[in-house]
Chains A and B, each alone.
Chain A
Amino acid sequence: MAAESLERILGEHPFFEGLKKAYLQLFVDCASNVRFNAGEMIFREGEDADKFYLIRQGKVALETYAPQRTVIIQTLGEGEVLGWSWLVPPYRWRFGARATELTRAIALDGKCLRGNSEEDHDLGYELMKRAAQIMERRLQAARLQLLDVYGSGPAKR
């Protein structure tokens, strides 16, 4: 896909709203198109977190593992941002991510952006602002999930 298209796609995404053109260009330079088949792992828990993804199409399940079972924490769909662990030390994935169906995304080089942010704190601030919002939404959703509002659960099965 040509760079101009990537620029258009990124420019239209809510995550990049309000970013000045120079920074947008930087993101475009760090971006690439990726695709995952259904069932493919995007990243695994514990791996180095160097990228993040804008999901353009498909569905991704965030998972963790307990003995004899895989638990899906949350699913993310079209338009959502996958991954913020690349911004926060120790820069390793807290969960695994698996495409549950054919998923197309734009991968952004988080490691590169981390480096740039150390040099240019204004860029870092813009990134942090946006990541904070994503984390807030995830935290809110997680808290609601914790409330287990639908009732006492299976008493005896």
Chain B
Amino acid sequence: MMATLSDPMVPSPFRIQRVLKETYDTYTLELDPANGADGFSFAPGQFNMVYVSGVGEVPISISGDPDKPRTLVHTVRSVGTVTQKLCAGGRGRVLGVRGPFGTSWPVEQAVGSDVVVVCGGIGLAPLRPAIYHVMANREKYGRVALLYGARTPEDLLYKLELPRWRGQFDLQVEVTVDAATGGWRGNVGVVTTLIPPARFDAENTVAMVCGPEVMMRFTLLELEKRGVPSENTFVSMERNMKCAVGFCGHCQFGPTFICKDGPVFRYDQIQPFFVTREI
């Protein structure tokens, strides 16, 4: 029995092929289908419900390359019972996967525009598929800037890929950390400080933002200051999820269900709810 439209609560088995340690509490898992399926198609920004047998299920964004559906990639931060087990799971362990669910980053809408990606902490993980897509279709886009902030240099994700991206393509990659010791040669300061000098044409840009809500609020303010219209700004939201198919009610955010109306939202459409506390 597999997850289908008729029974979306049934997971499919996926086997861990590789575990990459990104930081002291964050791991990237590469998964292959364990039941003979060809791979896993998804759109950048979508997420799965990942199940650890007998323990529980959590929503995790897909962080791999949408053009390489053979391998399913998830970057997981160990913050609770299930994610702790996920991060501890070694090669060969079988997990359950339901999905993909949710809306995706506007990589099609952004064709012909500049692209600015602003992310903080683990927020880079749900954006990485969009970055891969843009890089694979580089000629379709104008200037592309990735602005990434993390707590400390040790907390940066994809440490080997970041310099490759900066070096390989016509891509502005700026990284900053909140705090660093003397040995760090990069930027120190909150990610919003990277926005004023970033190279993009505010009136013809699609902005994609992901990170802790506080960080997103201040980022959106800076983007607005630079003149990026809120109809061209997209954010990825997060809420408690139990079913991911619009039945359990947990992920409600104002009138939207983050599992089906999101997680990627056009900012102007959710702006009144975004600034309402405890909604």
Contact = CB atoms under 8 A, between A and B. Distances in A.
Q: Tell me if chains A and B make direct contact, with any CB pair below 8 A.
A: yes
Interface of A: 59, 61-63, 69-75, 77-79, 100-101, 141, 144-145, 147-154, 157
A78 B25 CA distance: 34
B139 interface: no
Given A72-B188, A79-B197, A148 B181 contact: no
Interface residues of B, number: 32
Contacts of A63: 182
A72 B176 CA distance: 12
Contact of B182 (A70, A141, A149, A154): A70
Given A74-B189, A150-B120, A150-B151, A145 B181 contact: no
Contacts of B100: none
Contacts of A79: 197
Given A149-B214, A150-B151, 9 more contacts: A69-B181, A70-B182, A71-B179, A72-B179, A72-B184, A75-B189, A144-B190, A144-B218, A150-B150
A141 B193 contact: yes
A73 B150 CA distance: 14
Interface in B142-191: 149-151, 155, 176, 178-182, 184-190
B188 A153 contact: no
Contact of A77 (B192, B197, B215): B197
Contacts of B176: 75
Contacts of B192: 141, 144
A148 B79 CA distance: 16
B212 interface: yes
B197 A149 contact: no
B121 A149 contact: yes
Contacts, number: 78
A141 B151 contact: no
A145 B24 CA distance: 21
A100 B181 CA distance: 13
B222 to A, nearest CB: 10
A12 to B, nearest CB: 15
Contacts of A62: 188
A30 B99 CA distance: 65
Given A149-B212, A150-B120, A150-B212, A141 B189 contact: yes
A31 B178 CA distance: 33
Q: 6 closest pairs, A vs B, by CB?
A: A70-B182, A150-B121, A150-B151, A144-B190, A149-B212, A72-B188
A78 B197 contact: yes
A107 to B, nearest CB: 22
23 contacts: A59-B187, A62-B188, A71-B179, A71-B181, A72-B180, A72-B181, A73-B188, A74-B188, A75-B176, A101-B185, A141-B193, A145-B178, A145-B179, A147-B214, A148-B178, A149-B212, A149-B214, A150-B149, A150-B155, A150-B211, A151-B77, A151-B212, A154-B25
